[in-house]
Each structure stands twice: as structure tokens, then as C-alpha cells.
Amino acid sequence: MVDCVILAGGINKDLDNSEEISNKALIKIDDKEMVRYVLEAYRQVEEIGRIALVGPVGDFAFLQEEFSVELVPESDSILQNLVEANRFLQTKNHLLISTADIPLLNPQAVKDFLEKCLPYDSDFYYPIVSKENCEKKFPGVKRTYVNLVEGTFTGGNVFLVNPAAIEPSVPVISRFIEYRKKPLKMVALLGSGFVFRVLTKKITIPLLEKRFSSLLNIKARAVISEYAEIGFDVDKTSDLELVRQVINGKNVS
């Protein structure tokens, strides 16, 4: 059993202004808030217990009863939001950390990720999705990819973390969350030499895991997911348009 933290704080000026809302997670998609799709997916996963939603409490109070979600007031940074949620839940089990802008997420993708993380003997798990799977599921979608020996991948929008490792490692973990949509910047956190080796496709997943583990003084693992939905977040108006087409059952090709 794991608990879950959904990060729904902060603003996206372009989307918030164009949709006339105060928080991106509240954008309506087919008359339903984006965050509601995310909560519906997690509530169908029996391995997930408590869910804490970090954001402006007043904006999300209407979700509490329906989803048994616990609200944590947002702070001024992703880093502090993560720390506050971890302190609030006080769990000893691994913690699933998620963004609130992945409305195409489905319970099968979450279950698959959690199963591949078993037996939860590492401190940090990060899903990666192949370019082939992304383009097969969402033809023409624009994502940033990293070339590895094993293939070409983009990052996901969920993480599984040992809660005891969060506060000692949170400055770096928060950067990884911030750069989840910019894999090359994420790799750059591991050292300038890694960027060159990635660009020349001369780096392996085990080598990245080893470097990340050394950097944070934890045991880290990359998890290959076949579910493109776990890597599709809504950050631009074009993303939102595609999501609306998918949810309305239109052909996105």
C-alpha cells in the first residue's frame, strides 16, 4: 500500500489566462476539471491509500468528500509543497508523487508502474516512455526526448519515493520534477559530461541510475513504461486541445 501526493500548486499564466481560471488543475475538459480525471485514475488503484492534494485549499475543497482527498495548503515552491505533504502524511511506506496536469492517466498505467517498482527496495523510481510508444499513442505530439543506448525516451509525471529520502534529497528531487518535461536539463543535473554522452547515444540506463544514486546518496531506478499517458502532461494550449480531442473520442492523427 502506498500513499499519494498530487502537486496542484503554482500557476501557468498562458493556460490560466486563456481558460479564465485561477489554477491549471481546474481547467474544464468536457465539463470536468482536469484534476478530477487524475483523482479518478488514482482512486481506482487499490494499492493507493491516502491521497493528499497540495494547492490552494479553497479551490479544491469541493473534491474532498467525493474522493476522500486530504488538502494541504500550497507553499511558495514545488520543493516546499513536497516537504509539507510528506510531513502531513507521515507515512513510512513509499510515496507516489504526481502532478495534477495528466488527465489522460489511467489506472492501468499506475498499476503497471507500481508493479514494476516492486519490491520497493529502491528510494526513487522514475518512469520513462519510449518515443515509439508516445508517437504511436499520440501521433504528432511534441515531446522532448533523450537518446540512450536502450532507445529514445521521455520522462513521466509520477515518481515513487521513499519518504525518508525526501527531505535530505529534496533540492535535487524538486529540480527533477521541475525538469520532467526537459530531459536534457534533467540529465545536465548529473554533470556536463552526461549531456554529451546522451547526445551521442553513448549512455545506458544503468549508468544514469548509478550517477543519480550517487548524486543523491540514495538508490534510484528508471522504470520503462509502455503507457504514453503517464508522460503526457498539459503544459501548452496545443496539449489541451489534443487532450480534449482524445477525451471526446476524436482521431488525433
Q: What percent of the chain shows pLDDT beyond 70?
A: 89
Question: What SS3 state is found at 25?
Answer: helix
Which run of H or E residues covers position 68? none
Quote the pLDDT of residue 120: 97
Global pTM exceeds 0.85: yes
Q: How far apart are CA 100 and CA 5, in angstroms?
A: 10
Quote the pLDDT of residue 181: 63
Q: How far apart are CA 119 and CA 169, in angstroms?
A: 22
Helices (H), the chain: 13-19, 34-43, 57-60, 64-67, 78-89, 107-117, 131-137, 166-178, 183-188, 192-199, 205-216, 237-247
Quote the pLDDT of residue 177: 67
Quote the pLDDT of residue 253: 47
Q: How far apart are CA 241 and CA 85, in angstroms?
A: 31
**Residues with pLDDT less than 50, the chain:** 253
Quote the pLDDT of residue 211: 84
Q: How far apart are CA 1 and CA 231, in angstroms?
A: 23
Q: Any idea which residue has 511558495 for its cell?
A: 76
Quote the pLDDT of residue 228: 96
Among 3.90.550.10, 3.40.920.10, 3.30.70.1350, 3.30.565.10, name the CATH number for the domain at 2-244: 3.90.550.10
User: Phi, psi at residue 49, to the nearest 5°?
Assistant: -95, -105
Quote the pLDDT of residue 187: 72
**Which three three-digit cell numbers place residue 123?**
528510494
Question: What SS3 state is found at 149?
Answer: coil
Which run of H or E residues covers position 154? strand 151-155
